[in-house]
Amino acid sequence: MPSKLDPLSVPYRVGVSLSRFGWLLVVGTVSAGTQRLPLLVGLFGVVLLATLAYQVAYVRRFSYELTADTFDVYSGVFSRRSREIPYHRIQNVDVTRNVVQRALGIAELAIETAGGGETEATLQYLDADTADELRAALSRRKRGETEDGATEQTAREREALFSITTRELLLLGVVGLDLRLLSFVAVTLPVVLPSVSEATPLFDLFRVAPFLLAGLAVLALAASMVQAVVSYYGFELHREGDELGYRRGLAKEYSGTIPLDKVQSVVLTENMLARRLGYASVAIETAGYSPSGDSAGSQSAVPLAERDHAYALAQEVEAFGDPTFDRPPKRARTRYAVRYALAVLVVTGVATAAVRLVEFTSPVPTATLLAGLVLVPVAAHLRWANLGYAVEEDHFVARAGFWSRRTQVVPFYRTQTIAEQATIFQRRRDLASVVVDTAGTHGWSAPSAPDIDARRASDLRETLEARLQAALRARRDTVESAVQRIDSDTSGEVDSDTPDDRGGHDHGDERPPE
Amino acid sequence: MTTETPDRQTLDSGVRIVWGVGSLVGAVVLAGIAGAVGFATVERILRPAGVTFLVAAVLGVVYTLARYRAWWYAVEADSLHLSRGVLTYVHTVVPFVRVQHVDVSRGPLERALGLSSVVVYTAGSRGADVTIPGLTPERADRLQQRLKRLAIAAEGEDAV
């Protein structure tokens, strides 16, 4: 029996599409003046009616159904589409509610699968409770339980993992500040300002600059804090069987599930400030869309937690042990120094040329930019010092970045392709990089071991390949033994010990035990 | 599955023509730009354009030959290996379990020269597809079939 969307979706959807046309209306009114007002009102009426009719039809003709193996969605007003999503292919399920939706008591539910970059199915909108129930039902189906029989087979105890404290929430605002932006402003202001104050002697901007800078910093900090509070207010993470669940948000509420057996990688991020303060954030990458489809950068599973706690949480998802990182050889550092020195030279050159072209007398000769060369060794060392990779028992761990240090943990089992590469500059120093590709979808660079010794790079490539095959064999063995267990169980009851058939669900559907 | 000896396969020599034509086209474009710049600055077209074309064409031909010599692939026991690159050398490993699908594609120039390319797709997010160019159609079809069989045999039950 297919289910329908909530009737309250109609007014909300009408509102949304009208607000999209709103600017047209405003432009029309302004340009037409008052004489043609009746025409405009009439036109508006027509648009309103058409939208209403379309949205009523959309909501009426939209239905979904939980069948035995698939989640079916039938949609479309003019061209109909029916989509069947196999339960075991579902990655993330997210429920979001903004302020208006909360007032109306409706919610949006989005289902992600690995295919494509787009959300596989979006239900706009369901009754808020129905949405939560549907998400729970999808989780149960994914685990292979049926609605009627063995619902309570696996004890689905809800284990709270993390909830954000007010302190952490405010710290998140501080840490979330883009340090690079601030330092850029701090460097450029003293260079640019004197010449501006020369041109407009009304204000001695040079003297105002420190205040300006401080004001800017405070403003940025406040904005960052507000953003942190709004998007991560009341953040909590819990574990329910083999899924993680989260809930967050002040005005717009987000909640959703992250399936642990679909995790592609776990990423720990600590920027410079967070490192100082002893905090880190954890992001969990699945092959679906980002867990909380927000702007890039705020897609963490745990936005900010004390470092040890963050590591413990990451270990909960992927038990990667305590990696000891291998650093690239020292000659890689020379390479970065050369690269940064060239960058400084190029910037100086461009600045000089620009100053010549626009005939702008800069207060200090552009050649002073060459002073940046002093920073080159420091920068090169910091980059080098933060690089590292480790081959653990089941995981490849890569770490990089000074401003924002990222530790990416990839299970061997999730490797898609492995590439060993060396540019001519790398080969000159007998270096090479190994890049491990996964099916994750974040815009981050792939986990890699850059600029390591060329021979070690070849070894690493071979090791990673062998480890993947070993992981595949191990996975296959557990699946086969699970299948055999089910086979020998003639009564047909589903085996109740779930821990070791994490992959079994995925597999069982494609090769059903005969 | 029997362990195969990792035999390195080279591309069909005809691919040099495909690449060579590509770099000659690039040289012509560069020559055009050089001619335009030459006309704008010193009111001469032929000299700058000709010199640019010659230099670019020679470099292109040398690059093409080096590229052809560097290229090899091998169908090993568990994975497909591709190695290529002149300035940046890249060795990619594509495990059969991770293969999503395999295409055979033929561009117009390739068709004229009787060549095909095999494109192997994975679910990876960066550089998810790898191309093996310069294969005769029969060889491409054979490779496609073989990769398909190997991918199925590898049981990519959970490809992502």
- The ipTM value here is 0.86
pLDDT of residue A288: 59
Tell me if B5 is assigned to some domain: no
- What's the CA angle centered on A304, arms A299 and A310, to 5 degrees? 100
- Most confident range, picked from A119-123, A241-245, A475-479, B63-67: B63-67
- Cβ distance of A416 and B98 shorter than 8 Å: yes
- Cβ distance of B78 and A465 shorter than 8 Å: yes
Total number of domains in chain B: 2
Domain shared by B77 and B129, yes or no = yes
pLDDT of residue A293: 44
Residues of A in contact with B126 (CB under 8 A): 435, 437, 445-446
Tokens of A289: 């869309």
B151 touches chain A (CB under 8 A): no
Q: How far is CA A198 from CA A188, A194, A210, A323, B113, in A?
A: 16, 6, 17, 56, 68
Domain shared by B41 and B93, yes or no = no
- Cβ distance of B95 and A422 shorter than 8 Å: no
pLDDT of residue A83: 87
* Long-range residue pairs from A80-85, CB within 8 A, at least 24 positions apart, any chain: A83/A120, A83/A121, A85/A111, A85/A113, A85/A120, A85/A121
Domain shared by B96 and B133, yes or no = yes
Tell me if B132 is assigned to some domain: yes
- Cβ distance of A420 and B91 shorter than 8 Å: yes
- Check whether A345 has a pLDDT greater than 50: yes
- Specify the DSSP element, H or E, that contains B143: helix B137-153
Closest by Cβ to B124, choosing from A420, A439, A469: A439
Which of A416, A469, A483 to substitute to test the interface with B, most B CBs within 10 Å?
A416
- Check whether A116 has a pLDDT greater than 60: no
- Check whether A189 has a pLDDT greater than 70: no
**Which whole number is the average pLDDT over A364-384?**
87
B67 touches chain A (CB under 8 A): no
**Which whole number is the average pLDDT over B73-82?**
91
- The lowest-confidence range among A172-176, A334-338, A349-353, B133-137 is A172-176
Which of A262, A396, A414, A417 to substitute to test the interface with B, most B CBs within 10 Å?
A417
**Residue A356: pLDDT band with limits 50, 70, 90:** confident
Closest by Cβ to B122, choosing from A417, A422, A506: A417
Q: How far is B52 from chain A (nearest CA, A)?
A: 24
Tell me if B143 is assigned to some domain: yes
pLDDT of residue A207: 66
Nearest CA in chain B to A91: B160
- Cβ distance of B160 and A262 shorter than 8 Å: yes
- Cβ distance of B122 and A420 shorter than 8 Å: no
Terminal alpha carbon distance of chain B: 23
- The lowest-confidence range among A49-58, A177-186, A396-405 is A177-186
Give the domain extent around B143.
72-153
**Which whole number is the average pLDDT over A424-450?**
85
Q: Name, in order, each residue with C-beta under 8 angstroms of A423's C-beta and a sequence gap of 6 or more.
A: B87, B88, B89
Domain shared by B27 and B97, yes or no = no
Domain shared by B51 and B76, yes or no = no
pLDDT of residue B42: 83
Q: How far is CA A295 from CA A298, A441, A443, in A?
A: 6, 14, 11
pLDDT of residue A109: 92
pLDDT of residue A498: 39
Whether the CB-CB separation of A444 and A436 falls below 8 Å is answered with no
**Residue A181: pLDDT band with limits 50, 70, 90:** low
Dihedral (Cα; A367, A371, A377, A381), 10-degree rounding = -110
pLDDT of residue B16: 93
* Burial class for A382, CB neighbours closer than 10 Å (0-12, 13-18, 19+): middle
Whether the CB-CB separation of A85 and A103 falls below 8 Å is answered with no
Residues of A in contact with B98 (CB under 8 A): 415-417
- Cβ distance of A440 and B130 shorter than 8 Å: no
Whether the CB-CB separation of B140 and B117 falls below 8 Å is answered with yes
Which residues, numbered 111 to 130 in chain B, qualify as contacts with chain A under a Cβ-Cβ cut-off of 8 Å? 122-128, 130
- Most confident range, picked from A240-254, A360-374, A492-506, B60-74: B60-74
- Cβ distance of B88 and A424 shorter than 8 Å: yes
- Count of beta carbons in the 10 Å neighbourhood of residue A208: 13
- Cβ distance of B158 and A506 shorter than 8 Å: yes
pLDDT of residue A249: 87
- Check whether A178 has a pLDDT greater than 90: no
The residue among A460 and A257 whose pLDDT is bigger is: A460
- Check whether B6 has a pLDDT greater than 70: no
Dihedral (Cα; A218, A221, A225, A231), 10-degree rounding = 130
Residues of A in contact with B80 (CB under 8 A): none
Whether the CB-CB separation of A313 and A334 falls below 8 Å is answered with no
- Cβ distance of A476 and B155 shorter than 8 Å: yes
Closest by Cβ to A510, choosing from B92, B123, B157: B157
Residues of A in contact with B70 (CB under 8 A): none
pLDDT of residue A458: 94
Nearest CA in chain B to A114: B160
Domain shared by B115 and B138, yes or no = yes
pLDDT of residue A362: 67
Whether the CB-CB separation of A415 and B93 falls below 8 Å is answered with no
C-alpha–C-alpha distance, residues B104 and B96, integer Å: 17
> DSSP E strands: which ranges in A170-252?
236-240, 243-248
Which of A414, A430, A437, A505 to substitute to test the interface with B, most B CBs within 10 Å?
A437
Tell me if B29 is assigned to some domain: yes
Tell me if B2 is assigned to some domain: no
C-alpha–C-alpha distance, residues A475 and A501, integer Å: 9
**Which whole number is the average pLDDT over A68-91?**
88
- Percentage of residues in chain A having pLDDT higher than 70: 80
Q: Quick one: residue A78, left, alpha or beta (phi over 0 = left, psi -120 to 50 = alpha)?
A: alpha
**Which whole number is the average pLDDT over A24-31?**
72
Tell me if B41 is assigned to some domain: yes
Closest by Cβ to A439, choosing from B78, B97, B160: B160
Nearest CA in chain B to A424: B87
- The lowest-confidence range among A180-194, A218-232, A285-299 is A285-299
**Which whole number is the average pLDDT over A66-89?**
88
Domain shared by B107 and B38, yes or no = no
Domain shared by B91 and B126, yes or no = yes
Whether the CB-CB separation of A247 and A254 falls below 8 Å is answered with yes
Backbone angles phi, psi at A93, to 5 degrees: -125, 125
Residues of A in contact with B91 (CB under 8 A): 419-421, 461
Domain shared by B55 and B111, yes or no = no
pLDDT tens string A250-284: 888 888 888 888 888 898 989 888 899 999 989 88
- Cβ distance of B126 and A479 shorter than 8 Å: no
Domain shared by B46 and B83, yes or no = no
pLDDT of residue A203: 56
Q: How far is CA A397 from CA A400, A409, B138, in A?
A: 10, 5, 42
pLDDT tens string B91-141: 999 999 888 888 999 888 999 999 999 999 888 766 668 899 999 999 999
Domain shared by B57 and B88, yes or no = no
Give the SS3 label for residue A498.
coil
Taking each helix axis from N to C end, the angle separating A9-32 and A37-60, rounded to the nearest 10 degrees, works out to: 160
- Check whether A337 has a pLDDT greater than 80: yes
Tell me if B9 is assigned to some domain: no
Report the CATH number that the domain containing residue B115 is assigned in CATH: 2.30.29.30
What count of CB pairs under 8 Å joins A to B?
93
The residue among A446 and A11 whose pLDDT is bigger is: A11
Tokens of A83: 């989509």
Closest by Cβ to B125, choosing from A415, A438, A506: A438
**Residue B44: pLDDT band with limits 50, 70, 90:** confident
- Check whether A500 has a pLDDT greater than 50: no
- The lowest-confidence range among A292-301, A472-481, B38-47, B146-155 is A292-301
pLDDT tens string A257-266: 888 888 888 9
- Check whether A300 has a pLDDT greater than 60: no
Domain shared by B83 and B98, yes or no = yes
Tell me if B3 is assigned to some domain: no
- Cβ distance of A439 and B123 shorter than 8 Å: yes
- Specify the DSSP element, H or E, that contains A96: strand A90-97
- Check whether A494 has a pLDDT greater than 60: no
C-alpha–C-alpha distance, residues A126 and A105, integer Å: 9
Residues of B in contact with A423 (CB under 8 A): 87-89
- The lowest-confidence range among A353-362, A386-395, B61-70, B112-121 is A353-362
